[in-house]
Amino acid sequence: MDQSRTPYFDVLRDYVEAGVVPFHTPGHKQGIGCDPVFREFVGERVLGIDLTQIRGLDDLLQPSEAIVEAQNLAAEAYGADQSFFLINGSTSGNQIMMMTAVNPGQSIAIPRNAHKSALGGLIMSGAYPVYMAPEVDETLHMDLTVTPETVAATIAAHPEVRAIYVVSPTYYGVCADLPAIAEIAHAHGLPLLVDEAWGPHFKFHPKLPPSAIEAGADLCINSTHKMLSSLSQTALLHRRGDRIPLDRLSAVHKLFLSTSPNLILVASLDVARRQMATEGERLLGETIAIADSVRQRLNAIPGLSCFGEESCGRPGFAAFDPTRITLTVKALGYTGYEAEEILRRRYNVQVELADLFNCVALITIGTTPAAADVLVEAAAELAREDRPLDIFAPSGILERRLMSGTYTLPKIPPVRMLPRDAFLASTESVPFKSSAGRICAEVITPYPPGIPVLAPGEEITPEVVAYLDLELRAGGRMQGPYDSSLRTIRVVRE
């Protein structure tokens, strides 16, 4: 196929150039009806291609023209048999993968540190989770990936699982041994689903880890908006082989689409694919060089460290995405949150993510050498600063958490109900401290480390209550519960 083509972007441009008089949605009619301040700020051209699926612009729900060609080009570029455009992120990709691969009541093996959208997928699919523990880096208190051994042991202990789901890479660019995991899954006749939201660039440079599809995944998702140049909310879902029925996948994909998709997003996927297919190796080569130089310079600053390729080979750390910069500030005595705030307030630098000990910076094809220098200079200043007690009063979280040892996650509680049944059940709020023994109806994820401690359908154990209580007293924040102070918790009504 001709990867220099952008069939979908072209039909939008053609429509604008033809000067069609629009009596269709959207109501702003190519910007004319927009608030003028907004129109001027975003630009008429953007609004001009904010069109709907009328004649000639194909239909994402039932593609037959330009979208077919655009999706086929994406499949070819990624080495997949089929690719589907997603316009609700990898979030919808996770939900689609789960709803396609498992039926209500069937079991799926899933790492405990899966993104919350995977838990949403469990709720929607009605599947039963068999959780796998990821490896953990005790020094950085950072979760890694699940090992092939863990996958094999899970299948041996739970022969009822119908699919294997893994996350690779993690937020920190740490990759699983996907070829080995695929071999194990396939030897048992199971499909492998990979949340590769953070790895849409892997296919396009030999220095990057093997992509999930190359490694043998049957389905995988890529958040092209995260690491490539397509617009926010866009992502790709790829299928390879025939372990996952295409008709089912395609039907489920449609369930997750609006009948009025944003066509600018669709066109941005088309163009981002062309960019990678035709120029990816060069662009990513430059990106990797920038990231390597940033890592090297950060590692030379006393008090800062930034892991890289040398960490590969440990269990759960099979490969590494060199474009990811995890800046460890532990030795400076800052939490990652404090460092994030200082970098932003004092140096106008915003990182992607902070956790207890680290800040994560993304180097992508949009990062210029000058921007990279700003990051390094700001980090050097940060390392030189006296700890600014006046502005950033020490939270004490770090010390207290380390003293209380709250980083040891409690055992995964017994699953008493399907996540879907618990989530949709009649529920009630009870005082959290006396909730042991009840069945949780919500997801409770302390930040950090961001791994759910309770999911819908799980029994609240005394150990979990004690752990979450310590987290709260140490200043931890809870994501997920209706009552974020966790004074109360929603449980299934008895």
Determine the interface stretch with ligand PLP among 52-60, 85-93, 240-248, 369-377 (rule: CB under 6 A): 85-93
Footprint (CB under 6 A) of ligand PLP, residues 170-189: 171
Closest approach, Cβ 174 to ligand PLP, in A, equals 11
90 vs 268 by CB, closer to ligand PLP: 90
**Rounded-to-10 torsion of CA 418, 421, 423, 427:** -120
- Considering only residues 144-173, where is the footprint of ligand PLP by CB under 6 A? 167, 171
Q: How far is the CB of 9 from ligand PLP (least distance, A)?
A: 21
Q: C-alpha distances in angstroms, 354 versus 6, 259, 329, 374?
A: 37, 37, 10, 18
Which of 47/122 has CB closer to ligand PLP?
Answer: 122
Cβ at position 361, least distance to ligand PLP in Å: 15
Return the residues of window 228-267 that contact ligand PLP according to CB under 6 A. 235
Asked if residues 273 and 73 have their Cβ atoms less than 8 Å apart, the reply is: yes
Specify the residue, 182 or 197, whose C-beta has the smaller distance to ligand PLP: 197
Site string for ligand PLP, 272-291 (x = CB under 6 A): --------------------
Is the Cβ of residue 82 or residue 94 nearer to ligand PLP in the bound state? 94
Q: Which of 169, 308 has the CB closer to ligand PLP?
A: 169
Which range in 88-96, 333-341, 410-418, 460-468 contacts ligand PLP by CB under 6 A? 88-96
Residue 115 makes contact with ligand PLP by CB under 6 A: yes
User: Whose Cβ is closer to ligand PLP: residue 362's or residue 439's?
Assistant: 362
- What track of x and - describes contact with ligand PLP for positions 435 through 474 (by CB under 6 A)? ----------------------------------------
200 binds ligand PLP (CB under 6 A): no
# binding residues, ligand PLP (CB under 6 A): 12
* CB-nearer residue toward ligand PLP: 6 or 91: 91
The residue number with the shortest CB distance to ligand PLP is 89
Nearest to ligand PLP of 67, 197 (CB atom): 197
Q: Is 223 in the site for ligand PLP (CB under 6 A)?
A: yes
Pairing state between β 319-320 and 174-175: antiparallel
Q: Using CB under 6 A, which of 143, 195, 340, 442 touches ligand PLP?
A: 195
Stretch that binds ligand PLP, among 86-94, 95-103, 419-427, 453-461 (CB under 6 A): 86-94
Residues in the chain, overall count: 494
Comparing CB distances to ligand PLP, the nearer of 94 and 287 is 94
Distance CA 133, CA 113 (A): 8
Task: Give just the sign of the alpha carbon dihedral 111, 117, 122, 123.
Answer: positive
Residue among 130 and 265 whose Cβ is closer to ligand PLP = 265
Q: Which is nearer to ligand PLP, 58 or 195 (CB)?
A: 195
- Which residue lies nearer to ligand PLP by CB, 270 or 421? 270
CB of 89 to ligand PLP, least distance (A): 2
* CA 271 to each of CA 55, 268, 282, 348: distance values in angstroms, whole numbers, following the listed order: 21, 5, 16, 30
Query: Which of 6, 117, 230, 287: binder of ligand PLP (CB under 6 A)?
Result: 117
Q: What is the 3-state secondary structure (H, E, C) of the chain?
A: CCCCCCHHHHHHHHHHHCCCCCCCCCCCCCCCCCCHHHHHHHCHHHHHCCCCCCCCCCCCCCCCCHHHHHHHHHHHHHCCCEEEEECCHHHHHHHHHHHHHCCCCCEEEEECCCCHHHHHHHHHHCCEEEEECCCEECCCCEECCCCHHHHHHHHHHCCCEEEEEEECCCCCCEECCHHHHHHHHHHCCCCEEEECCCCCCHHHCCCCCCCHHHHCCCEEEECHHHHCCCCCCCEEEEECCCCCCHHHHHHHHHHCCCCCCCHHHHHHHHHHHHHHHHHHHHHHHHHHHHHHHHHHHHHCCCCCEECCHHHCCECCECEECCCEEEEECHHHCCCHHHHHHHHHHHHCCCCCEECCCEEEEECCCCCCHHHHHHHHHHHHHHHHCCCCCCCCCCCCHHHHHHHHCCCCCCCCCCECCCHHHHHHCCEEEEEHHHCCCCEECCCEEEECCCCCCECCCEECCHHHHHHHHHHHHCCCEEECCCCCCCCEEEEECC
* Only segment of 6-14, 87-95, 157-165, 369-377 that touches ligand PLP (CB under 6 A): 87-95
Distance in Å, CB of 337 to ligand PLP, minimum = 18
C-alpha 394: how far from chain center: 31
Which member of 133, 197, 215, 363 binds ligand PLP (CB under 6 A)?
A: 197
Neighbour-count burial of 362, counting CB atoms closer than 10 A to its CB (0-12 exposed, 13-18 middle, 19+ buried): buried
Could you tell me the smallest distance in angstroms from the CB atom of residue 96 to ligand PLP? 12
Identified binder of ligand PLP from the candidate list 31, 89, 173, 452, rule CB under 6 A: 89
Rounded least distance, CB 239 to ligand PLP, Å: 18
Where do contacts with ligand PLP occur on this chain (CB under 6 A)? 89-91, 94, 115, 117, 167, 171, 195, 197, 223, 235
